[in-house]
Amino acid sequence: MTSAYDTNNIFAKILRGEIPCAKVYEDDDTLAFMDVMPQAPGHLLVIPKAASRNILDADPAVLAKTIAVVQKLAIAAKHAFDAEGVNVAQFNEAAAGQTVFHLHFHVIPRNEHEPMKPHSGTMADGDVLRAHAEKIKAALG
């Protein structure tokens, strides 16, 4: 059984402006910002503005708009960080590794022979995150 959407999850608070973020992109339907515990330089998150716990309960129209932004930002992040590839990850429910129960996609620029760091619980420096956000914004054009 899936639980109800929690309006006090951290991403809902970011959407309401209660918690700051290093914003990369925003439109009427989505928000993208740097992950505060990046697994590689340029690691960002893309979320819908609509209340969706995860892919299992998301409105297909919301999902379609969100994945289009994921693609756009994956291309920009790959270019901005001169990466060889990009990991796109998305987790659904605790058993699958979901820790924030608002639909979100991880976009992580990757280079061969550079292992991803663990999601350690240690937050990255805010200035570094803002600089990485600016690099990706510049790559968006």
Q: What is the CATH number of the domain that holds 25?
A: 3.30.428.10
Kindly state whether residue 4 falls inside one of the protein's structural domains. no
Just list the catalytic residues. 104
Q: What is the tally of structural domains in the chain?
A: 1
Instruction: Confirm whether 5 is domain-assigned.
Output: no
Confidence of residue 1 (pLDDT cuts 50, 70, 90): low
Q: Per residue in 12-55, pLDDT tens?
A: 999 999 999 999 999 999 999 999 999 999 999 999 999 999 99
Domain that holds residue 106: 10-139
With a cut of 80, say whether residue 120 has pLDDT above it. Answer: no
pLDDT digits (tens, 9 = 90+) for 6-23: 999 999 999 999 999 999
Contact residues for 37 (Cβ-Cβ < 8 A; gap 6+): 119, 120, 121, 122, 123, 124
pTM higher than the cut 0.75: yes
Q: Is residue 3 part of a domain?
A: no
Q: What percent of the chain has pLDDT over 90?
A: 92
Residue 87, in any domain of the structure: yes
